[in-house]
Amino acid sequence: MSALETLLLVLAIFGVLTGLSVIVLSLIWLERKFLGRMQMRMGPMHVGPFGLLQPVADAVKLMAKEDLLSSLVDRVVYWVAPLAVFVPTFMIWVTIPVARDLVIRNLDMGLFYIIAFSVLSIVGLVTAGWASSNKYAVLGGFRAAAQLVSYEIPLILAVLGVAMLAQSMNLEEVVNSQSTVVYALVQPLGLVIFFIAGLAELGRTPFDIHPAESEVVGGPFVEYSGAHWAVFFLAEYINTFAIAALTVLLFLGGWLFPGISGDVSALGVLVFLVKTYLVILVVFWIRGTYPRLRIDQLMSLGWKVLVPLALVNVVITASYMFYGWSAWSLSLMSLAILGAAIWGLSKRMRTAPTPEYTVKLYVPAPEASNAG
């Protein structure tokens, strides 16, 4: 490796690091401000102009805060779990391009690489819950695993649809193949599945079943405070940005925009960032609008609606590609199926009876209550 190459590599890695930290800080501010305005509040105001320095102040506070460790915590796993969540979310940035040729490494199996590593952070959440030795945390960990695992399947299948259209898993090629029409128009069904499953992977409203404050008081993170919690927080925001970035790259044409030459990197980055922030605003908008799903609704939506839709998406895309049907036919089929699914769902939501619930109250065994 030549000296120049090494220098470029170091620069690229530093670029990713600073880029991601600035993005995380901006996202924290944006979320608070945006949610505030949606709820007719002002949001952060006092630290810096427009409260812009609020996330920095938060970060300092988190670092300098007393670390409250419960005496029952399993120390080693408690320390490792935030790292186990963070590492995969950071690693997928190796292969996410922000403009043409502006990527640390363009892997030929980029899409598969991202999918494979994103699954790893689920393990971190389960172990975080377990290490906390707290009922809410353990329950939150279980919920996290069950939910993330269920939505991973539609996510993988939706990505598969894009890989089929582009005939490649290289993210740069995926974007380049959208130079005439973006895949959001070719495959609207895929976009919807990917976005819903992505939201669920992030554990954001309406899919925030595992950190649900009113049910499991923060889920796996109950016992985490200070810097440990900051690491989870960081991972969550990097993940939010990653899902939005992937939505843009896979379905909205990445750094391509009609009339803007993609050859100029700076313009490309700008287009990419604008698109990604718009997608993120939609994510925040959804958070400010919808209530949380019940866990049984969540699982039904994943397995009974999204999985079959994703499979149908794969099959129609395959047929369209294989038989070389005309360009608009896939869009039409996609839209028709999407419409039918929405119609069926809304009809069911209006007529379906509330499922019978058998709530089992926790009755401690006599010896257990004495021991505790």
Q: Of 88-107, which residues contact other proteins (CB under 8 A)?
A: 90-91, 93-94, 104-105, 107
Q: Which residues of 78-111 are buried (b: 16+ CB within 10 A; e: fewer)?
A: beebbebbbebbbbbbbbbbbbbebbeebbeebb
- Could you tell me which residues come within 8 angstroms of residue 148 by beta carbon, excluding any fewer than 6 positions away? 122, 125, 200, 201, 203
**CA-to-CA distance for 239 and 128, rounded, in angstroms?**
18
Tell me which of 322, 350, 351, 353 binds other proteins, using CB under 8 A.
322
Q: Is 1 in the site for other proteins (CB under 8 A)?
A: yes
Contact 222, 137 (CB under 8 A): yes
SS3 assignment, position 173? helix
Residues numbered 271-310 forming contacts with other proteins, rule: CB under 8 A: 295-296, 298-300, 303-304, 307-308
Q: Is 318 in the site for other proteins (CB under 8 A)?
A: yes
Residues numbered 121-140 forming contacts with other proteins, rule: CB under 8 A: 122-123, 126-127, 130, 132-136, 138-139
Give the nearer residue to other proteins in terms of CB position, either 177 or 331.
177
Residues numbered 14-33 forming contacts with other proteins, rule: CB under 8 A: 17
Give the nearer residue to other proteins in terms of CB position, either 57 or 80.
80
Give the nearer residue to other proteins in terms of CB position, either 70 or 289.
70
Q: Using CB atoms within 10 A of its CB, is residue 5 exposed (0-12), middle (13-18) or buried (19+)?
A: exposed
Give the nearer residue to other proteins in terms of CB position, either 152 or 279.
152
Question: Residue 9, CB half-sphere, CA atoms under 13 Å: how many?
Answer: 8
Give the nearer residue to other proteins in terms of CB position, either 4 or 64.
64
Query: Could you tell me the smallest distance in angstroms from the CB atom of residue 218 to other proteins?
Result: 9
Give the nearer residue to other proteins in terms of CB position, either 130 or 257.
130
Q: Which stretch binds other proteins (CB under 8 A): 27-35, 37-45, 116-124, 193-201?
A: 116-124
